[in-house]
Structure 1
Amino acid sequence: MEVLQGIDAGLSPTNPEPHLHCLPAELLQQIFLLIVHNLNGSDYPSIFSFEYTSPREYVISVNFAAPPLLFTRVCRLWRAVACSTTGLWSRVQVILPGGIKPLGQFLPSVLQFWLSCSGNRPLTLCIDSRPLIVKCGRRFRCLPDSEGNSQLLEILLAERGRWDMVTFVSSIREWEVKLDTLDTPGLRNLECNISDLKRFNAPNLSRLRIRGFSYVPAVPAGPTPTTTNIRYLHLDYASVHAICSTAVIFPHLQTLIVDRLFPPSESPLATRTCLKIQSMTLSIFEYPYMIRPKFMALFERLQLPMWQKLTLAGEPRKAEVALIISTLAATPCYPQVIDFQTPMPLNEVDAAIAEPLLSFVEEVTVRGEVLCRRALCD
């Protein structure tokens, strides 16, 4: 709302009329879109709000205090403009409330209203759940999915043909709504649990983030219509075995990001060739002696003939540089660039420490800025 206040303050103080109410509808639309797309603290406007009455109990209500629903409560003009601006309603966070009792008609009807205002636009959704925790003797446990959750899920699932970008904060397997396959022909960007990936039929999916731990038993044995066209893969936690499996599961993968790498098990690893991977991001925030066996196991078994860039989350210190050199020495494929993602300013990074890396790569950068570069041969 600071944007609206700033516009109002900039208008002539001699006119006592409420200036914002007199703005043309086209300008109001642009202001509304600017506000909703720049919400602080969230990528998605939330349709529901929760007020906790105790550590395990809460009251759910419609979030009329925040845009875009707030715009519908100001005046008739604002309501008409907001309801006709489909871009305000194509992104939403829906938190499933849990609880044993059904929700009644009001909350589901507001969700239906929200989605209807989005017209035929592709939808960007964030779906989360609040499990109901009850005390059983001396222990607490989560109840299965509730009827209230099912009411909201059925509304969302009815629009799955329009799903474009979807984040599932909790696992789909907890849903009471039974689904063999989620047909989502328009889905391009997905964030979910590894065990939920097999539920999707999403042939146009190009970006995937796997939440939680990616382990081999949950990984598909081979490419599926959902995994075939994925170009971008982000793994929160993954074993070396799971990463090596990406060569088979994602044949067109170009970018791989792994936040945390787990060591391989004692079972042997087969050598894999990833023909399309150009960029890989790994973390080096752990102690080098902990990272080394994981990196060695990974790069001894993963062949990357098209590798162009290795991004490392961490600082280019002596121990880390020595680790990278020993790792690259064990693989026949070298990237062209190594980029360090560190909060250190470029002028505080010692280029001399990173220069030994130029034996393997052409350039070392810090957040994309050149730290040192291999000299050109005459």
Structure 2
Amino acid sequence: MAHIEGPKGVPDYYPPVSRRFDAVRGHLVGAADRAGYGLIELPMFESTELFTRGVGESTDVVSKEMYTFTDRGDRSITLRPEGTAGVMRAVIEHGMDRGALPVKLVYSGEFFRAERPQAGRYRQFHQVGIEAIGSDDPALDAEVIAVGHEGFSAIGLTGYRIELTSLGDAACRPAYRELLQSFLDGLPLDEPTRERARLNPLRVLDDKRPQVQELLTDAPLMIDHLCADCAAHFAQVRTVLDALGVPYVLNPRMVRGLDYYTRTTFEYVHPGLGAQSGMGGGGRYDGLMAELGGQALSGIGYGLGVDRALLAADAEGLEVGTTARCEVYGVPMGEAASLELAVLAGKLRAAGVRVDRSYGGRGLKAAMKSADSSGARVALILGDRDLAEGAVVVRDLVSGEQRSVPLAESVDAVRELLA
């Protein structure tokens, strides 16, 4: 029978790459954890209305890329294409916004978009995100940007840049929107692009086609039309980032792919990723909670691509995490030795040591070959004669040195060698 292949555009992560993937994700989550962000686990799917209202009908995400279906209760359901809307729904539903503010949350998991698969652009992708809800303090904006920077730096990445701009707010966006709309009305745009301009003229600035970008050379920019409050807020964000030593470059033409962004907006870009150079990004979304039926609280957050960060680590030649399957590999020679080694492996695992072993009565040569390929630092070799003497052979697989150790002292001996 023909074998069944995995869905197109969905990566499989398996050893040893899966350990590197897990290490990358751990660094991104760890940076948020150290900054006081509490873990939230979200559903893989939500009501479609959450995304049409929260993300915006004019976005490519909603209009072209969502996995939407009708369930058995005749409800329209969508696999989550991003995390912020779901977090906001949960915050409102569970009253988290009624306590101490800001509410600071971190999440990680799979997200789904029906895009054309290409390098670094998957239909199922993995993100780590944070959301800070309930404060418009510019220092919070700077903290969010700095936490992402810390996560990427912990991985060891150095070849990326942080691009930064401000998209204004409800006070200055309408006038700018009219100005931009008037500019776009005078351009020879095709009908689909003109329709996008009608729904949200800012989306046109994000058009990647060279012929469109050429027409937009003299387009007015939001950063030049900020109101006094937005200009002061953005200046303070930059002041805090400078004080923290977080490097950034201004990109006044940046347009994020979701409609809810206001004021501070940013992206982490790695040139080593080619056309899909964004590793993640985010910004402030001060009107989103009210749009979803909650309080009129401000918020800021980001979504960082774990898949993209792993590709960036590969591009920089970084050794992230360990590819070793275990630290200790057991080699039993005989039935009685196999039982004793199972007990010893259990004791080591209880002591926090990762242990694997040979099975099926394999010979010493084959078992030692498996020990080498496992990436283990230590091999425990136990035969009938060793068992009779109440000892086990502890071999350092790096230096090749070995010694016989009493079974009662073997756990301490292994931990000492690993240390």
TM-score w.r.t. length of structure 2: 0.26
Q: Please tell me whether Structure 1 or Structure 2 has the larger radius of gyration of its CA atoms.
A: 2
TM-score w.r.t. length of structure 1: 0.28
